[in-house]
């Protein structure tokens, strides 16, 4: 029991500690592709440290929702983090929720952030919240289908057992349905974490931003928590991809080696994301249904090809 | 014991009805007499149903003729619905004692109290009737009384229109119910439900019974495309009645659907389940799509009821498919998911309707665009309403999440049937359910965010006051329940499992520490653990906030408007704007229309005012009902030829009919 | 085929990727990316042919694979890009059916193809997958021809159909006899060239390659 709790605490610390690093890596790789030097990969740590030292200025119109929202989103995302296997597949809180619960926990975090965006009464906040929820409604059906594709393939929705099943299958795991589900999931990951072409995390033009518009009213310490939560979500979505599609090397080599392998996997995914981000432009909001319908159809094809190969 | 409880329940509702009429002249006394008696009656109902579910079925016959035989039969399924009705009645009755103050001096309170009690009693009789004739009588009573409740504020023309649409749709439904019962009675030779369940019916007639029952009860349940009365009737009724109609009355149709499909018709055919599943998916999606763009709070809630009935039907359809495929265990899981959502929906929809009632009570408007800032004016109401919003948006660890999770899991379990069509249908349904869930979150985020947060958008919202304590108590009861149903599924599911065992099989759920629920596929979930984790992990950022400075008070300044000088309520985001992306995305469904009218003074260069209006189309009304009504009217015009106005002609009709009947008897007699 | 499990597994993956590339063509609104996706599709097809050649050891299938690679994955896309560049056409694909609905229809077509193949009732998991994929390619190719306005997309559609037939033939019967195969390649190439010339003519006559303009030719 005690070791379980220690493991959970260790996992939380790993997530919090690594989240800014991943953002730093992505920024650095993007800078490399744009032939810039770019900030150090530790810059996000400095940013958060700086924000934590500053006062939070709060709008006069806000209610308790505005104060509660960063805490709830942060906690919901971190709770999701406890359900995702990172360095051991037999995670201590695996019983508490499965892949579907992870999705709903992300939804909880998003719900509170979007609610806070309406609290201050600024029109830009509302714009961001509205778009965020719109993108979420586009993502959700594709997400559920790819969850189904993964779940019927691995025979479970509990992430721990998905990881174990796929690890045991080894190279045999590479089936058409898995491949299609991965592509679909990657598109979903882009939308879910608000990266280009869905949303530009670096923009500060009011008319185009989604996530940044929602958190426009936050400053200082509260902003630090919101930013950290967003970084954690990015890391966790990647961890989700890693634990479902490349769970190899999680249990075999002991925790330090598993952590190292995890770092490598996350870094590779981060580089892939940076490549996608530099090679595409941000899409117009109303072209996003096209992107998400591709993802939806790929996950549907993943299910169909599962059915075909199994020979229903 | 059961007998005493049941008669207690009936007696208290009757006393409530009678006393509210007796004290008709004294508004306050009359309201207390009506609603407190109803509350006591509902306590009896809760005790009665719990005793039935944990014990034996209840059977009570009143002697009558062989044709008309009144009696009650309450098994676990009926008892579950009595429980749902009674819980809702308890909370709504407490709420009503405060809410009807709105009508004191303006309307007849005794009349309302009388109808209210009889309405609840008729719902209880609907789910406990033991034969078809009695069922039809009480069903009709329920429909008529709810019609009178809908038109309670009949001085408003839109209320009368709503009542008319409701009564027409509900009678079309009753007609189909009558047909299906007649076929069943013809096959079994008796009108008692007991004989229906064993009746040997040829397959073709079975299909007919199924379809007629689906249409008949579907009209009451608000299944798309028979839903059109819901968005009219529910907003028109007083809010406490809407809470009951939307929370409970439409569920009685689900009760009868389960009764007919599982009990009367026995193990069904696959395509019945698929039809129910498809209708569920369509209802869920269409309902929430209309709800998203609606800015009348009560109409939005009515549309959302259609959505939730869709989700309930998704579970029910899945359960029927599993049952027809010969897998009662999985069928039980899907049925539990469906009933769980039904229970949850009656609680959070009741809560939200009461919340909407509170908003109307203190602001006298149900237009979302005129609200805002209520979280400061009505702090307690807003917290209670927020609980309902979180539950209906299916956010963990609230109640909607548990039932949606279970519905998704039961759809996933469909893959174990190894039938291609089931797999494809279930995965499409799951995608639809996911889309529905996301749109529901958007819709209720909009409602709460626009209605309660930021600055008030009108004078009414500016001067809103917190509502009185009975209203808060009624809402509080439901808010507590929707948290409990979310956090403690480990107590609810065994209870529901006991109920569905009577018509499917054993769900074989297993329960672990921390309230973990494990389904037969091995997938597990524990909302208490999630709640504890969220609460504990929320301490972490709180500690960071406190440690780094030691003070929570932050400098307060005006809202940053990106350079705009002042922020007033006029440049806040509106509800219409909030749902605009969805409206543009699904434009072919909404068929949005817009009109811009400009008035000029002197010349076209000097605009006096510009007025912008936009609206969305109700495609089912436009393309299904409008042509149908047109044809009916045309047909009636043709039939009108025989209405000559001459008394001799009428007598001649009677004579001709009589002669034809004679001929029929003579020829048939041979 | 059964002696090479790995080959069959790889083929499944490649067939899945071929489907993905088809959906990329359905989902993109730029002519260049359509052509590029078609090139990728042909390249994957060449890989399939290569695997079949390797696992059966037949020499003529290697030639077919090579021809696919050269003609379909390189030459034809090059011709397309040349045409697009020369006639300076607007680079947007104009649609009769919007992208999300095209993609949905594509998905429905895949399901229908699967049911069609299943009703024929052949066998091993690989051939049922590849046959469904080939049927899907044929039907989606036809759908692209119907739903896109530009003449170039009609050419692309017919090539996708041809790819589908090729996929079915190669995975089911290890390809047609070499002579037939050569004939087909020649046909396709000449077809593309002729159609290319036609497109030039259409463009010169109507100043557009929107096939809607051909409606004006009726008597």
Cα gap B264→A25, rounded to integer Å: 65
Choose the final residue of a domain: B219, B248, B266. B266
Which residues of chain C are within 8 Å of residue A305 when distances are taken between CB atoms? 12, 16, 19, 129
Cα gap B224→B275, rounded to integer Å: 12
Whether residue A244 has pLDDT greater than 50: yes
Residues C84-93: what's their mean pLDDT?
76
Whether residue C197 has pLDDT greater than 90: no
Whether residue B349 has pLDDT greater than 90: yes
Per the CB < 8 A criterion, the answer to whether A114 and B448 are in contact is no
Burial C58-69 (b: 16+ CB within 10 A, else e): eebbebbbebbb
Is B143 inside a domain boundary? Answer: no
HEC sequence for A181-246: HHHHHHHHHHHHCCCCCCCCCCCCCCCCCCHHHHCCCCCHHHHHHHHHHHHHHHHHHHHHHHHHHC
Q: Which of A176, A293, A300 sits opposite C129 (nearest CB)?
A: A176
For B97-130, the pLDDT digits (tens) are 999 988 888 888 889 999 999 999 999 999 999 8
Who wins on pLDDT, C209 or A246? A246
Residues B122-142: what's their mean pLDDT?
91
Whether residue A292 has pLDDT greater than 60: yes
Residues C160-186: what's their mean pLDDT?
79
Q: Please judge whether A175 and C111 are an interchain contact, meaning their C-beta atoms are less than 8 angstroms apart.
A: no
Using an 8 Å CB-CB cutoff, list residues of chain C that contact chain A: 9, 12-13, 15-17, 19-20, 23-24, 27, 29, 99-100, 103-104, 106-107, 110-111, 114, 118, 125, 128-129, 132
Please give the C-alpha separations between residue C202 and each of B269, C51, C65, C91, in angstroms, as whole numbers: 57, 41, 34, 17
Determine the pLDDT at residue C218: 67
Residues B631-652: what's their mean pLDDT?
84
What is the percent of chain B where pLDDT is above 90?
53
Beta carbon pairs, A and B, within 8 Å: 270
Determine the pLDDT at residue B572: 84
pLDDT band at A208 (very low <50, low <70, confident <90, very high): confident
Question: Dihedral through CA B137, CA B139, CA B143, CA B149, nearest 10?
Answer: 90
Q: Is C111 on the interface with B (CB under 8 A)?
A: yes
Which residues of chain C are within 8 Å of residue A197 when distances are taken between CB atoms? none
Stated pTM of the model: 0.92
Who wins on pLDDT, B400 or C185? B400
Cα gap B471→B95, rounded to integer Å: 4
Residues B644-660: what's their mean pLDDT?
84
Q: Please judge whether C118 and B420 are an interchain contact, meaning their C-beta atoms are less than 8 angstroms apart.
A: yes
Whether residue C2 has pLDDT greater than 50: no
Domains of chain B: total = 5
Cα gap B427→B433, rounded to integer Å: 10
Cα gap B412→B400, rounded to integer Å: 18
Q: Please judge whether A221 and B548 are an interchain contact, meaning their C-beta atoms are less than 8 angstroms apart.
A: yes
Q: How far is CA A111 from the centre of its chain?
A: 15
Whether residue C3 has pLDDT greater than 50: no
Interface of A with C in 106-165 (CB under 8 A): none
Per the CB < 8 A criterion, the answer to whether C203 and C209 are in contact is yes
Residues B137-141: what's their mean pLDDT?
93
Q: Please judge whether C19 and A180 are an interchain contact, meaning their C-beta atoms are less than 8 angstroms apart.
A: yes
Determine the pLDDT at residue A155: 85
Determine the pLDDT at residue C1: 40
Per the CB < 8 A criterion, the answer to whether A250 and A99 are in contact is no
Query: How would you classify residue A91: left for phi > 0, otherwise alpha for psi between -120 and 50, otherwise beta?
Result: beta
What is the percent of chain A where pLDDT is above 90?
51
Cα gap B347→B341, rounded to integer Å: 10
Cα gap B592→B619, rounded to integer Å: 11
Whether residue B83 has pLDDT greater than 90: yes
Please give the C-alpha separations between residue B331 and each of A142, B149, B298, B500, in angstroms, as whole numbers: 26, 37, 35, 9
DSSP element (H, E) containing B510: strand B510-512
For B545-555, the pLDDT digits (tens) are 877 765 556 78
Interface of A with C in 254-273 (CB under 8 A): none
* Domain chopping of chain C, boundaries: 5-209
Determine the pLDDT at residue B547: 78
Determine the pLDDT at residue B410: 93
Q: Is B522 on the interface with A (CB under 8 A)?
A: yes
Query: How would you classify residue B571: left for phi > 0, otherwise alpha for psi between -120 and 50, otherwise beta?
Result: alpha
pLDDT band at C11 (very low <50, low <70, confident <90, very high): confident
Query: How would you classify residue A306: left for phi > 0, otherwise alpha for psi between -120 and 50, otherwise beta?
Result: alpha
Cα gap A79→A220, rounded to integer Å: 24
Q: Count other Cβ atoms within 10 Å, centred on residue B522.
A: 13
pLDDT band at B22 (very low <50, low <70, confident <90, very high): confident
Report the chain C residue with the minimal C-alpha distance to residue A181. Answer: C16
Residues B489-498: what's their mean pLDDT?
90
Whether residue A7 has pLDDT greater than 80: yes
Least confident of B92-96, B464-468, B532-536, C50-54: C50-54
Interface probe with C: pick from B418, B420, B422, B432, most Cβ of C within 10 Å? B420
| DSSP state string for B212-263 | HHHHHHHHHHT-TTS-TTHHHHHHHS-HHHHHHIIIIIHHHHHHHHHIIIII
Q: Which of B437, B533, B571 sits opposite A82 (nearest CB)?
A: B533
Closest Cα partner for B289 from B302, B301, B313, B307?
B307
Helix (H, G, I), strand (E, B) or coil at C30: strand
Residues C185-201: what's their mean pLDDT?
78
Residue A33 lies in domain: 2-310
Determine the pLDDT at residue C7: 66
Cα gap B115→B148, rounded to integer Å: 8
Residues C20-44: what's their mean pLDDT?
90
Helix (H, G, I), strand (E, B) or coil at A152: helix
Report the neighbours of B using a cutoff of 3 or more CB pairs below 8 angstroms.
A, C
Q: Is the same domain home to B348 and B307?
A: yes
Beta carbon pairs, B and C, within 8 Å: 3
Please give the C-alpha separations between residue C203 and each of B159, C90, C150, C207, in angstroms, as whole numbers: 63, 12, 11, 5
Rounded mean pLDDT of chain A? 89
Who wins on pLDDT, B70 or A134? A134
For A71-124, the pLDDT digits (tens) are 999 999 999 999 999 888 888 888 888 999 999 999 999 999 999 999 888 888
Q: Please judge whether A176 and C111 are an interchain contact, meaning their C-beta atoms are less than 8 angstroms apart.
A: no
Please provide residue B327's backbone torsions phi and psi, each rounded to the nearest 5 degrees.
-130, 75
Give C104→chain A minimum CA distance, Å.
Answer: 7
Rounded mean pLDDT of chain C? 81
Least confident of B117-126, B352-361, B601-610: B601-610
Residue B182 lies in domain: 169-266
Determine the pLDDT at residue A191: 92
Beta carbon pairs, A and C, within 8 Å: 70
Is B200 inside a domain boundary? Answer: yes
Any residues with CB less than 8 A from the CB of A264 and at least 6 apart, and which? none
Closest Cα partner for C157 from C8, C34, C6?
C34
Q: How far is CA C96 from the centre of its chain?
A: 20
Determine the pLDDT at residue B478: 95
For A197-206, the pLDDT digits (tens) are 888 888 777 7
Determine the pLDDT at residue B549: 65
Domains of chain A: total = 1
Q: Which of A95, A130, A310 sits opposite B577 (nearest CB)?
A: A130
* Number of helical H runs and strand E runs in chain B: 27, 8
Whether residue B464 has pLDDT greater than 50: yes
Which residues of chain C are within 8 Å of residue B420 when distances are taken between CB atoms? 115, 118
pLDDT band at C125 (very low <50, low <70, confident <90, very high): low
Q: Please judge whether C107 and A176 are an interchain contact, meaning their C-beta atoms are less than 8 angstroms apart.
A: no
Whether residue A4 has pLDDT greater than 90: no
Who wins on pLDDT, A92 or B301? B301
Is B161 inside a domain boundary? Answer: no
For B566-585, the pLDDT digits (tens) are 667 777 888 888 999 998 88
Is B156 inside a domain boundary? Answer: no
Q: Which residues pair with B594 in a beta bridge?
A: B614
Who wins on pLDDT, C86 or C7? C86
Determine the pLDDT at residue C123: 59
Q: Please judge whether C16 and A176 are an interchain contact, meaning their C-beta atoms are less than 8 angstroms apart.
A: yes
Report the neighbours of C using a cutoff of 3 or more CB pairs below 8 angstroms.
A, B
For B162-186, the pLDDT digits (tens) are 999 999 999 999 999 999 999 998 8
Q: Please judge whether A52 and B548 are an interchain contact, meaning their C-beta atoms are less than 8 angstroms apart.
A: yes
């Amino acid at each position: 029991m005690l070791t379980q709790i220690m493991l959970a605490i260790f996992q939380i610390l790993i997530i919090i500690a690594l989240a800014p690093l991943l953002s730093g890596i992505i920024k650095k790789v993007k800078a490399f592709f744009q032939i810039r030097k770019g900030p150090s990969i530790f810059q996000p740590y400095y940013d958060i440290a700086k924000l934590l030292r500053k006062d939070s200025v709060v709008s006069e119109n806000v209610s308790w929702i505005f104060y509660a929202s960063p805490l709830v989103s942060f906690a919901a995302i971190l709770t999701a983090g406890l359900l995702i296997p990172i360095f051991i597949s037999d995670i201590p809180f695996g019983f508490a929720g499965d892949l579907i619960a992870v999705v709903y926990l992300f939804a909880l975090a998003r719900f509170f952030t979007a609610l806070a965006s309406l609290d201050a009464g600024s029109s830009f906040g509302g714009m961001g919240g509205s778009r965020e929820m719109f993108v979420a409604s586009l993502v959700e059906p594709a997400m559920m289908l790819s969850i189904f594709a993964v779940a019927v393939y691995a025979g479970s929705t509990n992430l721990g057992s998905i990881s174990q099943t796929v690890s045991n299958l080894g190279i045999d795991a590479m089936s058409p349905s898995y491949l299609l589900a991965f592509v679909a999931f990657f598109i979903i990951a882009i939308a879910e974490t608000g990266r280009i072409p869905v949303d530009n995390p670096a923009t500060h033009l009011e008319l185009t931003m989604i996530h940044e518009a929602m958190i426009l009213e936050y400053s200082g310490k509260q902003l630090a928590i919101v930013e950290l939560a967003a970084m954690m979500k990015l890391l966790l979505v990647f961890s989700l991809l890693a634990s479902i599609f490349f769970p190899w090397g999680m249990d075999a080599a002991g925790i330090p080696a598993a952590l190292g392998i995890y770092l490598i996997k996350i870094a590779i995914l981060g580089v892939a994301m940076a490549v996608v981000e530099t090679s595409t432009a941000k899409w117009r909001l109303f072209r996003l249904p096209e992107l998400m319908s591709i993802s939806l159809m790929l996950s549907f094809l993943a299910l169909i090809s599962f059915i075909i190969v199994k020979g229903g | 014991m059961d007998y005493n409880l049941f008669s207690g329940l009936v007696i208290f509702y009757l006393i409530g009805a009678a006393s509210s009429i007796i004290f008709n002249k004294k508004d306050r006394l009359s309201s207390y007499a009506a609603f407190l008696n109803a509350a006591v009656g509902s306590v009896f109902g809760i005790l009665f149903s719990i005793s039935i579910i944990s014990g034996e079925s209840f059977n009570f016959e009143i002697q009558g003729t062989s044709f008309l035989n009144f009696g009650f039969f309450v098994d676990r399924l009926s008892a579950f619905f009595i429980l749902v009705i009674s819980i809702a009645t308890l909370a709504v009755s407490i709420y009503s004692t405060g809410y009807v103050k709105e009508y004191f001096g303006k309307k007849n309170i005794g009349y309302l109290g009388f109808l209210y009690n009889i309405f609840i009693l008729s719902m209880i009789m609907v789910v406990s009737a033991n034969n078809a004739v009695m069922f039809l009588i009480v069903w009709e009573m329920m429909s008529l009384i709810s019609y009178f409740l809908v038109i309670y504020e009949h001085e408003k023309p839109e209320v009368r229109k709503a009542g008319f649409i409701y009564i027409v749709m509900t009678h079309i439904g009753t007609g189909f119910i009558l047909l299906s019962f007649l076929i069943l009675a013809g096959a079994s030779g008796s009108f008692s439900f007991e004989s229906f369940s064993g009746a040997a019916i040829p397959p073709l007639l079975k299909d007919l019974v199924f379809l007629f029952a689906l249409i008949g009860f579907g009209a009451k349940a608000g299944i798309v495309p028979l839903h059109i009365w819901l968005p009219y009737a529910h907003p028109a009724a007083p809010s406490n009645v809407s809470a009951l109609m939307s929370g409970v009355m439409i569920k009685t149709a689900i009760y009868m659907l389960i009764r007919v499909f599982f009990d009367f018709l026995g193990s069904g055919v696959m395509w019945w389940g698929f039809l129910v599943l498809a209708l569920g998916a369509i209802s869920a999606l269409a309902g929430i799509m209309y709800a998203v763009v609606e800015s009348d709070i009560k109409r939005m809630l009515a549309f959302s009821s259609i959505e939730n009935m869709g989700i309930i039907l998704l579970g029910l359809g899945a359960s029927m498919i599993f049952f027809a495929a010969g897998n009662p265990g999985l069928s039980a899981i899907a049925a539990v998911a469906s009933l769980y959502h039904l229970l949850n929906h009656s609680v959070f929809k009741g809560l939200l309707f009461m919340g909407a009632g509170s908003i109307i009570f203190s602001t006298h408007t149900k237009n979302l665009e005129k609200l805002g800032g209520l979280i400061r004016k009505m702090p307690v109401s807003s917290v209670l309403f927020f609980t309902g919003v979180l539950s209906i948006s299916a956010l963990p660890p609230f109640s909607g999440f548990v039932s949606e999770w279970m519905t998704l899991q039961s759809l996933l379990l469909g893959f174990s049937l190894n039938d291609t069509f089931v797999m494809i249908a279930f995965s499409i349904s799951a995608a639809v359910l996911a889309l529905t869930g996301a749109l529901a979150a958007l819709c209720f985020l909009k409602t709460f965010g626009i209605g309660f947060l930021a600055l008030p958008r009108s004078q009414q919202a500016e001067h809103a006051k917190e509502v009185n304590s009975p209203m808060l108590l009624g809402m509080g009861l439901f808010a507590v329940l929707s948290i409990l149903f979310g956090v403690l599924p480990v107590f609810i599911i065994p209870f529901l499992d006991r109920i569905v065992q009577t018509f499917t099989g054993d769900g074989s759920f297993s329960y672990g520490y921390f309230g973990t629920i494990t389904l037969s596929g091995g997938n597990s979930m524990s909302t208490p653990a999630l709640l504890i984790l969220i609460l504990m992990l929320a301490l972490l950022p709180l500690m960071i906030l406190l440690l780094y400075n030691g003070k929570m008070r932050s400098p307060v300044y005006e809202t940053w408007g990106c350079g705009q000088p002042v922020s007033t309520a006029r440049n806040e985001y509106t509800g219409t704007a909030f749902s605009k992306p969805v409206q543009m995305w699904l434009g072919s469904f909404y068929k949005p229309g817009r009109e811009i009218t400009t008035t000029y003074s002197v010349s076209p260069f000097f605009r006096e005012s510009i007025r912008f209006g936009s609206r969305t189309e109700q495609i089912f009304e436009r393309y299904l009902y409008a042509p149908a009504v047109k044809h009916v009217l045309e047909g009636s015009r043709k039939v009108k030829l025989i209405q000559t106005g001459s008394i001799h002609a009428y007598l001649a009709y009677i004579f001709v009919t009589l002669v034809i009947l004679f001929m029929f008897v003579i020829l048939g007699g041979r | 085929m059964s002696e090479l499990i790995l080959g069959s597994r790889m083929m499944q993956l490649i067939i899945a990727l071929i489907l993905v590339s088809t959906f990329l063509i359905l989902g993109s609104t730029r002519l260049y990316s359509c052509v590029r996706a078609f090139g990728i599709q042909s390249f994957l097809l060449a890989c399939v042919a290569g695997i079949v050649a390797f696992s059966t050891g037949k020499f003529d299938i290697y030639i077919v694979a090579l021809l696919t690679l050269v003609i379909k994955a390189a030459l034809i896309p090059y011709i397309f890009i040349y045409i697009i560049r020369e006639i300076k056409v607007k680079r947007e694909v104009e649609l009769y059916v919007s992208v999300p609905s095209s993609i949905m229809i594509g998905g429905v077509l895949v399901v229908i193809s699967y049911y069609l193949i299943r009703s024929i009732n052949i066998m091993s998991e690989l051939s049922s997958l590849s046959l469904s994929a080939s049927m899907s390619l044929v039907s989606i190719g036809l759908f692209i021809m119907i739903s896109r306005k530009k003449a170039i997309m009609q050419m692309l559609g017919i090539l996708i159909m041809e790819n589908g037939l090729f996929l079915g033939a190669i995975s089911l019967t290890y390809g047609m006899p070499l002579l037939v195969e050569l004939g087909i390649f020649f046909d396709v190439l000449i077809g593309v060239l002729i159609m290319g010339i036609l497109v030039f003519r259409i463009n010169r006559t109507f100043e557009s390659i929107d096939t809607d303009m051909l409606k004006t030719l009726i008597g």
